[in-house]
Structure 1
Amino acid sequence: MTAFRKLTVGLAGLAACAITAPVSAADDAQFDGTITLGAAISLTGKYSTNGGHTKNGYDMAVDRINSMGGVEVGDKTYKLEVTYYDDESTPARGAQLAERLIQQDGVKFVLGPYSSGMTKAIAPVTEQYGVPMVEANGASRSLFTQGYEYLFAVLSTSEQYLASAVQLRAELAEKDGMDPSEMTIAGVFENDPFSQDIRAGVIADAEEHGMELVVDDKLPPEINDMSSTLIKVKAKSPDMMVVSGHSKGAALAIRQMSEMRVDVPMLAMTHCDSAQIIQKFGDKAEYTLCASQWAPSLTYSDDYFGSASDFAADFEARYDYAPPYQSAESAAAVLVYKDAFERAGSLDKKAVRDALQATDLMTFYGPVNFDDTGKNTAKPMVLYQVQDGEYKVVAPTEYASAEVRYPMPKWSER
Structure 2
Amino acid sequence: VTEKFGVPMVEAEGASRSLFTQGYKYMFAVLSTSEYYLAPVLDIIAQRAKAGWKSPSDLRIGMAFENDGFSLDVRAGVLDVAKKYNMKIVIDDKLPADLSDMSATLTKFKALKPDILLISGHSKGAATAARQIEEMKIQAPVIAYTHCEAAKVHEKFPKSAVGVMCPTQWLDNLPKQDKYFGDAAKWNADFKKVHPSYTEVPYQTAQASAAVLVFKDAFERANSFDQVKVRDALAATDMETFYGDIRFAPEGNNIAKPMFYRQIQADGSYKPIVTYEDMDFPRKVNY
Fold equivalence (TM over 0.5): yes
- Deviation by residue 1:333-371 (Cα, 9 ceiling, x = unmatched): 010000000000001111000000000011100000001
Q: For the residues of structure 1 that align with 2:161 and 2:281, how far apart are their CA atoms?
A: 14
Q: CA RMSD in A?
A: 1.3
- Alignment partner of 1:229 is 2:105: yes
Q: SS of 1:287's equivalent?
A: coil
1:275 partner letter:
A
8 Å Cα contact 2:11/2:30 also seen in 1: yes
Query: What pairs up with 1:366-405 in 2 under 5 angstroms?
Result: 366-387=244-265, 388-395=267-274, 397=275, 403-405=278-280
8 Å Cα contact 2:163/2:285 also seen in 1: no
- Deviation by residue 1:253-290 (Cα, 9 ceiling, x = unmatched): 11101111111110011100111111112233110100
8 Å Cα contact 2:134/2:157 also seen in 1: no
2:220 aligned residue: 342
Instruction: State the shift of 1:242 in Å.
Output: 0.6
- Deviation by residue 1:24-58 (Cα, 9 ceiling, x = unmatched): xxxxxxxxxxxxxxxxxxxxxxxxxxxxxxxxxxx
Q: SS of 2:278's equivalent?
A: coil
- Which residue of the other structure, out of 243, 252, 259, is the alignment partner of 1:365? 243
- Which residue of the other structure, out of 186, 192, 204, is the alignment partner of 1:326? 204
Q: For the residues of structure 1 that align with 2:3 and 2:135, how far apart are their CA atoms?
A: 47
Instruction: State the shift of 1:410 in Å.
Output: 5.5
8 Å Cα contact 1:340/1:355 also seen in 2: yes
Stretches of structure 1 lacking an aligned partner (at least 5 in a row): 1-124
Q: For the residues of structure 2 that align with 1:366 and 1:214, how far apart are their CA atoms?
A: 36
Q: For the residues of structure 2 that align with 1:337 and 1:409, how far apart are their CA atoms?
A: 44
- Deviation by residue 1:57-80 (Cα, 9 ceiling, x = unmatched): xxxxxxxxxxxxxxxxxxxxxxxx
Q: For the residues of structure 2 that align with 1:208 and 1:247, how far apart are their CA atoms?
A: 29
| Structure 1 residue runs of 4 or more that deviate by more than 3 Å after TM superposition | none
Higher relative contact order (CA 8 A, sep 6+): 2
8 Å Cα contact 1:269/1:291 also seen in 2: yes
Q: For the residues of structure 1 that align with 2:53 and 2:280, how far apart are their CA atoms?
A: 17
Which protein shows a greater Rg? 1
* Percent of matched pairs sharing the same residue: 52
1:143 aligned residue: 19
Stretches of structure 2 lacking an aligned partner (at least 5 in a row): none
Instruction: State the shift of 1:237 in Å.
Output: 0.4
Q: For the residues of structure 1 that align with 2:160 and 2:73, how far apart are their CA atoms?
A: 28
Q: For the residues of structure 2 that align with 1:223 and 1:143, how far apart are their CA atoms?
A: 23
8 Å Cα contact 2:49/2:55 also seen in 1: yes
2:240 partner letter:
M
Aligned residues: 284
2:7 aligned residue: 131
2:271 partner letter:
K
1:153 partner letter:
A
1:315 aligned residue: 191
2:249 partner letter:
D
